[in-house]
Chain A
Amino acid sequence: MRKRELDYSLKVRLPITVALVAISFALTYFVSRAERDGVGYTPSQPIAYSHKLHAGDLNIDCQYCHTGADKSRHAMVPPTETCMSCHKTIKIDSPEIQKLKEYYDSDTPIPWQRVHKIPDYAYFDHSVHINKGLDCTDCHAEVKNMELVEQAHAFTMTNCLDCHRTAHDKFPGLDLKAKGTEDCITCHR
């Protein structure tokens, strides 16, 4: 009796348990991968600003607002002043623009929620990528179709290296002398 129970535990229960744990871990690992990498992250913003309207329908260039992209490591969320340069006269009755004006008049920064972030231990410079001829969409995807900006690609080391190692194949149109650097110190310094 006792022996049979032990036998049963070892031969049936244990394997089933181990298999269940392994399967659920593997499933969770792969299913939650995107979530863990931040793909699909779409935080709500303090002002209902539509990239689809501005960048898509109105076809305003990304760098009209994100002026740092070709100059500096930070592409920069534009100063409120940039919004106001048009919205002093355009759609001033809209409640969202009223909100904007309030921030502007009270000299308060707008608490935009950060969508894309790389870890503190990694360094990234927008200007190098833009000046080499990469397009914003290569990392940020089609923002001009997004009402609310969401993260479309994972910002992981794998993804960085994926392009850096195969720059010539990935971007055949660009006049690249060398492929992207793989030196650690490029990002970790």
Chain B
Amino acid sequence: MTKMNGKSGQQKNGQKMNGSSHEVVLPIIDSPEKIFSEDGDKPASRVQKYWRSLNVLNNSSSEEVLRDQREEFPHGQGGEINLDKMDGVSRRKFLALMTAGGVFATASCTDYRDKGEIINYTKKPESIQPGIASYYASTLVSGGVAHGVLIKTREGRPIKVDGNPDHPIGKGKIDPNAQAMVLDLYDPARTVKPVKSNGGEFAATSWKMSDKKIVSALNSAVSSGKEISLITHPTSSPTTKKLLDDFVAKYTTAKIYSYDLFSNENRNSAWEKSYGKKTYPGVRLDKADVILSIDDDFLASGGNQVEYIGQYAARRDVEDLDNFNRMYAVSSAYTTSSAMADYHMRLRPEMMFEFVMCLASELSGGAAFGVNLSSYNLSNFAKSNGMLAKKISQLVSDLSHAKGKSIVTGGVHLSEKVHLGINLLNEILANTKIYNSSDALISFNDEAADWDALVSNMNAGRVGVVINIDANPAYHLPADYGFSDALKKVGTVVTLSGWENETSAAGHFLLPINHSFESWGDHNQRGGIFSLQQPVISPLYDTRQSEAILLNWIMGGNSYDIDIYHKYLMARWEGEVHPSLSPAASFTDFWYHSLHDGVVSYKTNNNKDLVFDGSVLNAQKPDEAKGWALVLTKNPHIEDGRHANNGFLQETPHPITKMTWDNCAMVSPDSARTMNLSLGDFIEVGVDGRSLKVPVVVQPGMAANTVSIDLGYGRRVAPVIGHEVGFDANVLRTKKGGLSQLVYTNVSVKALGGEKHPMGSTQEHHQLDAEVGGYKIAEFHKDRHIIQESTVLTYKHDKDVIARNRHHTRSIMKNHVYSGIKWAMAIDLNTCSGCNACVTACNIESNVPVVGKEEVLIGREMQWMRLDRYYSGDEESPRTSLQPMLCAHCDNAPCENVCPVVATIHSKEGINQMVYNRCVGTRYCANNCPYKVRRFNFFDFRDWLAEGYYYKQSVQQMFNPEITVRSRGVMEKCDFCSARVASAKASASKEGRDFKGSDVITACQEACPAEAIYFGDSNDPNSSVAKLRKHKLSYDILEVLDIKPNVTYIAKLINTNEDENNSNGGSH
């Protein structure tokens, strides 16, 4: 075998492609075209370097890194037996166990032919056909957004939830949290009956007793003139709002306090000052050619991410290059939106206002809309803040050329004046048409809560009853309100919640509420859309819907009936909604039709012109950056802590840091270097005397001297899964806040030294093997082409920029022939934003277990899909490349050759089958898999985690009955949704039609909000998969191994205004 490198390899390939068919091109690695240089000024290394973590970048040839990339698991894991650590078993004990075993074995030799009983229905509900799933349209609130969903039920049990394709906002897509909420229904730690505290000790009580006590407390509070405080979150349900109003009408001293930890308050109040209207409307990303995100993570945690990802993806179509959007991100914390941006610039959060004003000044020429901008100078600002002049001038030129077709958005954590500046900027750019004002976001009762007044009233004994409606203020509110202490002075504290929490622990009653799947409701998230929520299962336990509990109290406390809120809801719809929409149908028809569809659309008249008033901006001064800055962020999966007890969400890796089961302080590599910090080191973050000890993740792309910490972790009172997971950054907040409630300046950061925190980060797990033929990684990763990217500009004039890198291998074996259907998947890396919807959908569809932090630490996470995240360029402002990775069902699958028991073999349709009952667990296959996508059940993880937490009866009802629940000692991996393939075939034969590849939609494909995943029959030339496989941008990973994967990728095109020769990759 000859080694070819550099130019000569190119020429060989070139000749081959020109048709010299006798040329034998060996399956070796040749150096590709230069895609990017790392830095325009330096003599460029030939290829863009991609790295998965700083450890890999900086120590790329260290023994440790080489070993981790070579081996399946991080070193030291995977079954070494240490005899010293094992329990000794005495001879006596051994004999006793043997005897007991023998006795049990003999005793169990009953009638071995007994096959049990078949339980039949007495009366079969007409809608249930055992073995066939039923789908119900409903609504599920996740991340503050009401998602239209279809709930899949089997024999009456909800087992999966997906988007409702008829819903105009989500269009069939929902976020991963909503996917995972099906687990909450079956969570063994749910509170199952009312609980009452007797001097700190909680004991079960009855609804009758608690209703009686609470109603008398309510009545006596009213008669003695004491306040009744209802603490809740903003809602999009008009009927819930009406109910709260009714409550206040009945109990006249009642007052509603509504809050959201990640509130839109600053953005909304800025909107009101600018336009005189209350609510920021959101934007139409698909209408914007240029997007500038000012510290706004709208693609992952802004709340409306599902719709935004879809709209963003619509403008990243490789077949429509002229309509590619361009995205700029100026960010303090490195987020998904920063990672997806074409140009990323880092900036401390305090500087955001000045940056916006400088940009406004530059674009308007010094004054606009009565705002004097002459004191702001963009180029000086850029220079003093280390922003690259090249990027800034590109931004200014793009924005000024896209007037009316660009949009600037700001993160909800930024202060009001930044949003004022952003509104001004959008006015200067004439972008108001891009706002979604025809169907604005609606949220009821989102008036700011006056906590100071509440706490002083509580302390003065002027509050009779506090009712927390699915809210957890004792955990969320900054400590200096003294809320928890004041709560002790209130006579009756009632918490309506599905689980115990910090607030319920300090109260008197914990009344368990229904899961969304057991509840009725309606949502008016946007003008023009009503979304209906219907229960799909009757309450599993002795719980009630929170609205029904309040309604019962309004009606005196003795009127509860399971249908009470259902009737109330219908009455409102009959009295108010139906007449206002005046459809032709009678109310009953209209109601059942609407319930069936899950959504009702109506015309709105909201489209009034916006009149801008920028005058308040003149009084605003720029902030100063002092010390460190702290940004408190929303974790895309745990949110404000409400999902803490959901194992799926705890174990879903953070999209950027890849952390599971923990939050961390993200700091930039340069700051970490000056403080000598590395992954897992503890630091102490101090804000005005309050401090938090938290471990560090050194995160490329972070602004210098800026710490960002996710809220929602460190729950002190939560069931076993969520109990004290991570660190509670709420302790750093104050009621006054810093620049805003979530941004603080002049923060101190101190390295603590000592023990490192074990970090459950998956970023260095399952690295693609990087040693073949004696190459060392340090040179080798350049040649591997695991990530291939180019720019739009390059691709426009050179369509072969990716195709040229293909390896042409020749095998001495004959290729396998697939004459019928051949399954294949293509993933478009242009649109994937790493939201984890596919991962979560796959977990639930395929009965993937939760393994827990201890097991994640040693690389045993079981998710069949993972999102690989590579960086390239420099660590201050890296380019991030995301890549969903799953079993590629290779034609020449290396795993199949090594299985001694033939437990993994190919089907006639090209699926790499895994036969669990044949597998004996040698793990040879996983060892031989170049993509590292095989997962081994080291334990029966459900039984292993938290003393069989996910083994309990209730959780078993969630399993997908079409797929085996794997036990200990068995290998598993993606099966291309074989069960879905089979059921699609069965439907085709039932309906007597031919089966086509397009009949099957995999779980990940169904969930992907960017529609980046294509699945189908690659032998059908008209299928999208077949077309994408032939696309010029299509590539195989590790093609050189000649394993012929059936999962192919569409290379990402970056829309920088540069040709490949001086592409981005420079400094921040």
Seen from chain A, the residues whose Cβ lies within 8 Å of a Cβ on chain B are 35, 38, 41, 43, 68, 70-74, 76-81, 103-104, 107-117, 121, 123, 125, 127-128, 131-132, 178, 181-186, 188-189
Contacts of B990 in A (CB 8 A): 70-71, 127, 131
A72 near B978 with CB under 8 A, answer no
Given contacts A78-B120, A103-B122, contact A183 B913 (CB under 8 A): yes
Contacts of A116 in B (CB 8 A): 115
* Segment of B128-136, B248-256, B640-648 in the binding face: B128-136
A128 near B989 with CB under 8 A, answer yes
Q: Is the interface of B mostly helix, strand, loop or mixed?
A: loop
Contacts of B989 in A (CB 8 A): 127-128, 131-132
Lowest 10 CB-CB distances: which A-B pairs, in order? A72-B131, A183-B907, A79-B121, A121-B917, A114-B115, A79-B124, A73-B131, A74-B131, A185-B913, A117-B115
Name A112's contact: one of B120, B129, B913 (CB within 8 Å). Answer: B120
* Segment of B671-679, B698-706, B832-840, B979-987 in the binding face: B979-987
* B962 on the A face (CB < 8 A): yes
B913 near A41 with CB under 8 A, answer no
Shortest distance between the CB of A90 and any CB in chain B (Å): 19
B122 near A72 with CB under 8 A, answer no
Chain B residue with the shortest CB-CB distance to A126: B131
Shortest distance between the CB of B176 and any CB in chain A (Å): 25
Q: Encode B872-912 as 1/0 by CB contact (under 8 A) with A.
A: 00000000000000000000000000000000010111010
A113 near B122 with CB under 8 A, answer no
Given contacts A183-B909, A185-B975, A188-B917, contact A72 B121 (CB under 8 A): no
Question: How many angstroms from the CA of A78 to the CA of B119 in the assembled complex?
Answer: 10
Shortest distance between the CB of B282 and any CB in chain A (Å): 43
A112 near B917 with CB under 8 A, answer no
Question: How many angstroms from the CA of A74 to the CA of B130 in the assembled complex?
Answer: 7
* B964 on the A face (CB < 8 A): yes
Chain B residue with the shortest CB-CB distance to A114: B115
Question: How many angstroms from the CA of A78 to the CA of B120 in the assembled complex?
Answer: 7
* B803 on the A face (CB < 8 A): no
Contacts of A109 in B (CB 8 A): 119-122
A185 near B978 with CB under 8 A, answer yes
Name A77's contact: one of B120, B123, B911, B986 (CB within 8 Å). Answer: B120
* B116 on the A face (CB < 8 A): yes
B interface residues, tally (CB under 8 Å): 39
Question: How many angstroms from the CA of A107 to the CA of B918 in the assembled complex?
Answer: 42
Question: How many angstroms from the CA of A103 to the CA of B120 in the assembled complex?
Answer: 11
Known: A123-B962, A185-B907, A185-B913. 6 other contacts (CB 8 A): A43-B115, A71-B129, A73-B131, A79-B123, A132-B989, A189-B982
In chain B, positions 73-131 with a C-beta closer than 8 Å to chain A are 113-124, 129-131
* B915 on the A face (CB < 8 A): yes
Question: How many angstroms from the CA of A176 to the CA of B256 in the assembled complex?
Answer: 68
Name B132's contact: one of A72, A78, A80, A110 (CB within 8 Å). Answer: A72
B117 near A185 with CB under 8 A, answer no
* B951 on the A face (CB < 8 A): no
Given contacts A38-B113, A128-B985, A131-B990, contact A108 B975 (CB under 8 A): no
Shortest distance between the CB of B997 and any CB in chain A (Å): 16
* B752 on the A face (CB < 8 A): no
* B916 on the A face (CB < 8 A): yes
* B625 on the A face (CB < 8 A): no
Shortest distance between the CB of A48 and any CB in chain B (Å): 17
Question: How many angstroms from the CA of A127 to the CA of B124 in the assembled complex?
Answer: 19
CB within 8 Å: A-B pair count: 120
Given contacts A71-B132, A80-B122, A81-B124, contact A114 B116 (CB under 8 A): yes
Q: Encode B645-686 as 1/0 by CB contact (under 8 A) with A.
A: 000000000000000000000000000000000000000000
Question: How many angstroms from the CA of A43 to the CA of B123 in the assembled complex?
Answer: 25
* B963 on the A face (CB < 8 A): yes
A-B contact pairs, 13 of them (CB 8 A): A43-B113, A71-B132, A72-B132, A78-B120, A79-B120, A79-B122, A109-B122, A114-B115, A117-B115, A127-B986, A183-B911, A185-B982, A188-B964
B975 near A68 with CB under 8 A, answer no
Question: How many angstroms from the CA of A183 to the CA of B914 in the assembled complex?
Answer: 11
Contacts of B120 in A (CB 8 A): 76-80, 109-110, 112
In chain B, positions 204-228 with a C-beta closer than 8 Å to chain A are none
From B120, B130, B962, residue with most partner A Cβ within 10 Å:
B120
Question: How many angstroms from the CA of A185 to the CA of B979 in the assembled complex?
Answer: 8
Chain A residue with the shortest CB-CB distance to B902: A184
Q: Is the interface of A mostly helix, strand, loop or mixed?
A: loop
Contacts of B113 in A (CB 8 A): 35, 38, 41, 43
A184 near B907 with CB under 8 A, answer yes
Contacts of A73 in B (CB 8 A): 131
Shortest distance between the CB of A138 and any CB in chain B (Å): 16
Chain A residue with the shortest CB-CB distance to B965: A120
Question: How many angstroms from the CA of A109 to the CA of B120 in the assembled complex?
Answer: 5
Question: How many angstroms from the CA of A112 to the CA of B122 in the assembled complex?
Answer: 13
Name A184's contact: one of B129, B913, B964 (CB within 8 Å). Answer: B913
Contacts of B908 in A (CB 8 A): 181-183
Shortest distance between the CB of A183 and any CB in chain B (Å): 4
Name B915's contact: one of A41, A108, A110, A184 (CB within 8 Å). Answer: A184
Chain B residue with the shortest CB-CB distance to A107: B122
B979 near A189 with CB under 8 A, answer yes
Shortest distance between the CB of B817 and any CB in chain A (Å): 16
Chain A residue with the shortest CB-CB distance to B155: A74
Chain A residue with the shortest CB-CB distance to B912: A185
B905 near A68 with CB under 8 A, answer no
Given contacts A78-B120, A81-B122, A125-B982, contact A189 B129 (CB under 8 A): no
Contacts of A114 in B (CB 8 A): 115-118
Question: How many angstroms from the CA of A112 to the CA of B121 in the assembled complex?
Answer: 12
B907 near A112 with CB under 8 A, answer no
In chain B, positions 949-985 with a C-beta closer than 8 Å to chain A are 962-964, 975, 978-979, 982, 985
Given contacts A77-B120, A117-B115, contact A189 B975 (CB under 8 A): yes
Question: How many angstroms from the CA of A35 to the CA of B964 in the assembled complex?
Answer: 28
Shortest distance between the CB of B980 and any CB in chain A (Å): 10
B916 near A112 with CB under 8 A, answer no
A189 near B124 with CB under 8 A, answer no
Name B115's contact: one of A108, A115, A182 (CB within 8 Å). Answer: A115
Chain B residue with the shortest CB-CB distance to A40: B113
Contacts of B916 in A (CB 8 A): 121, 188
Question: How many angstroms from the CA of A128 to the CA of B121 in the assembled complex?
Answer: 24
Contacts of B962 in A (CB 8 A): 123, 189
Contacts of B911 in A (CB 8 A): 183, 185
Question: How many angstroms from the CA of A31 to the CA of B143 in the assembled complex?
Answer: 65
Contacts of B114 in A (CB 8 A): 43, 113
Shortest distance between the CB of B738 and any CB in chain A (Å): 54
Name A72's contact: one of B115, B116, B130, B982 (CB within 8 Å). Answer: B130
Contacts of A79 in B (CB 8 A): 120-124
Chain B residue with the shortest CB-CB distance to A103: B122
Shortest distance between the CB of A45 and any CB in chain B (Å): 10
A128 near B122 with CB under 8 A, answer no
Shortest distance between the CB of A3 and any CB in chain B (Å): 40
Question: How many angstroms from the CA of A58 to the CA of B450 in the assembled complex?
Answer: 78
Question: How many angstroms from the CA of A35 to the CA of B113 in the assembled complex?
Answer: 9
Question: How many angstroms from the CA of A127 to the CA of B131 in the assembled complex?
Answer: 10
Question: How many angstroms from the CA of A43 to the CA of B120 in the assembled complex?
Answer: 17
Contacts of B915 in A (CB 8 A): 184-185, 188
Shortest distance between the CB of A25 and any CB in chain B (Å): 19
Question: How many angstroms from the CA of A78 to the CA of B123 in the assembled complex?
Answer: 9
Shortest distance between the CB of B647 and any CB in chain A (Å): 24
Question: How many angstroms from the CA of A117 to the CA of B915 in the assembled complex?
Answer: 20
Shortest distance between the CB of B396 and any CB in chain A (Å): 57
Question: How many angstroms from the CA of A77 to the CA of B124 in the assembled complex?
Answer: 11
Name A68's contact: one of B115, B129, B913 (CB within 8 Å). Answer: B129
Given contacts A72-B130, A183-B909, A189-B964, contact A128 B124 (CB under 8 A): no
Contacts of B820 in A (CB 8 A): 178
Contacts of B979 in A (CB 8 A): 189
Chain B residue with the shortest CB-CB distance to A132: B989
A80 near B917 with CB under 8 A, answer no
